[in-house]
Structure 1
Amino acid sequence: MSHGGAGGGLGAQTVGAGQLGGGAAAAGGGEYRELHWTVSSVMDSSRVSTCLISMLLIVYGSFRSLNIEQEAREREQKKRNESMTNLLTGEPVEKEPTDKFATLDTMHALCLPLGASISLLIMFFFFDSMQLLFAVCTAIIATVALAFLLLPMCQYIIRPCTDGKRFSFGFCGRFTAAELFSFTLSVSIVCIWVLTGHWLLMDAMGMGLCVAFIAFVRLPSLKVSTLLLTGLLIYDVFWVFLSSYIFSTNVMVKVATRPADNPVGIVARKLHLGGIVRDTPKLNLPGKLVFPSLHNTGHFSMLGLGDVVMPGLLLCFVLRYDAYKKAQGVTSDPTLSPPRGVGSRLTYFHCSLLGYFLGLLTATVSSEVFKAAQPALLYLVPFTLLPLLLMAYLKGDLRRMWSEPFIAQQPSKQLEV
């Protein structure tokens, strides 16, 4: 899938910290009681779960991406050593692709909000006629993403039983036993989701999508990150706040909460299998994370995958830069010793992750205060991007991070007389 298609698909489902289902009614009587109700609503189990899971997905996806990059470098070094040996012995050199990442450039960052808007309008106007296609494509993509999410667990389980040997499946490629096991588990989960429509399985598929996109999609610089997040902020605000004035309904919420007919039910209806049609539930597509409240029956908190993935790409970028800077020993001035203190120990990743938490908390409070769905990126983008820009400026890394953060800079050589 292309970069724009992936981002557009996620962005089309993006909703702020809104709600799916009925919420609890506020008890009247006094500002204190209303404030107490607001605080208790913010601290509801569904809200807390949404916040914790989204942050864990970003952290896990970012470190998974960093680990994949490290493994790729190690394989490249191993191949280089083997190629030197093969050149001496005359054996052929086996080549394999090393770049598994999709890197967004400036054009992608500018076009992605437009592509997301087009995807959103297509789903808004033609959802009924294309819902089977949406459901099938989503299930296929989620199966692959969920297999990627489950792979480390499967590797841990199967490691004592296998030697890491790869099995060939013709043109499909060669896979390890752990990869086959994770794919089998993923297919089973998706099939059970199709048959039951359970929210927990939908969340598992959404988590897989989040981790896969954060791990394999790269932002090359702070410039591209700023363009992308700013464009998506405008996109999010327009479709949540302003779309109702044009389309007489909130397009973002309408698309995100609209259930799709079950593919099994559609096929059974065409085959005139009435019993199966009655038993198949409608499906909420995994474009969002949904968590029920333990205290208020029927109350759900919802966060769009785009509100996890897009800030997650920024945090993955700064984590890679932190690791690169640590490995290269890069400082703003090579003649100066690294600063000491709390500020020096605070990495860009820590700063951005804290900003993401504060932005998500602000979005949650706003949704309770205004009693309406909020464009989460309206809060997440400023809280993550602005502190990062300020911190990079204070540390002297802003110019480097803005354009070419991962290109080693050679110190200027001065002639000594």
Structure 2
Amino acid sequence: MNSTELAAVAGSTAGTATGLAAALGAGLLIGLERERRKGRGAARAAAGIRSFTLAAVGGGIAMALGQPLLVALGGLLVVLLSAVAYWKSREAPPGQPAPDPGLTTELALFITYLVGVLGVQQPALGAGAAVVVAALLAAREKLHRFATELLSQAELHDALLLAALALVLLPLVPAAPLPWLGGVAPRTLMLTVVLILALQAAGHVAWRLLGPRAGLALSGLFSGFVSSTATIASMGARARTEPAQARACLAGALFSTAATWVQVALLCTALAPAALATVAPSAAAGVLLAAGTAAWAAWAGGALPQAAAASSANEHGPLRLREALAVAALLGAVAVGVAWAQRQFGNTGLLLGTALAALADAHAPVAAAAARHGSGAVDAAALQQVALVAVGMNALTRTLTAFVAGGRRYGLGVGASLALSTGAALAVALITR
């Protein structure tokens, strides 16, 4: 046997040893958790740390031998032993009803066997799976409390709705752009609906964890990096249906507009660092005014009614599908209008093209202009103008979205803040010329 063959054998042996070690560790980890719940005496459960460790190591050895039939027979043996253990655990003294011990330990024993098999194939994945299984078993009380006490029926319904839209319907929607839809793909509009609903869900989670005021404000800030328009829509829908939280929802929406200016600065930093000194002062002014109005909206309204905060999650779920569909339809209409304008008038210049594109999205034209600056086609002053026009024109779409989703008062608040932040950015641009 030459040196190459010896190295191959040594590598194979080392890989098998690593896999068996992963299987052993998985069995010990899961078995340790089950041993703590096993109990003592005659009423103790059937499987503990030794049984789980042996099951995992047995699965690893069967896989290491490279015998698929042996792996299958080992799995069948574990299933049979688990069935016997479950049957024995249901025995009761004469005249007493049979207890219901549950199937968790028996299922965990079979899964531990599979984790041992997986550990030999992919040690890292097997070890990760063992940690997940052990964590699920250890979190029994918390998971039961979450499912039966913390999670309302309406929230469960909305979670299933969001999962169905994202995992079932979205992949089935056509992904090819359609000319009659302004070159927009139906999947893009459907993705907008899913995004809005996901942002509503994220805001609801933040609200439950941090309270109405801080939770919605923080949710709006981070959601603004994804889509300020979608954030304004989701916050507006919540403000319309829950008037007691209108001020907090408005603050979250305004914080999302601050994130828009931050993202403009980040795009310039990544794609056109030489122009950052020109764009940064205007972007900073926009951030300060948007964040300032958001902070005022968050704290000037006083404390929120505790009764409303306590009962909101139980009365209805966080998702507003009707408003999400309305915003997607609005964005589709904007796309059709942009396509019509381009066919009629063409691209009469960088700023006109930016203004048209920014009606649908503010960041895309900024990113395009920043990339062109890197190639020398756009100077720093022109990039600054592109950023101002893009955010300013997109402010019109966001203001209209605010009126559609949240009503007149909410729309006026969002529109006033956008006007102030955009005006401040423009003023700084004129002063620093």
With the shorter chain as reference, the TM-score category is under 0.3
Higher Cα Rg, which structure: 2
Q: Which has the higher contact order (CA 8 A, sep 6+)?
A: 1
Q: TM-score, normalised by structure 2?
A: 0.20
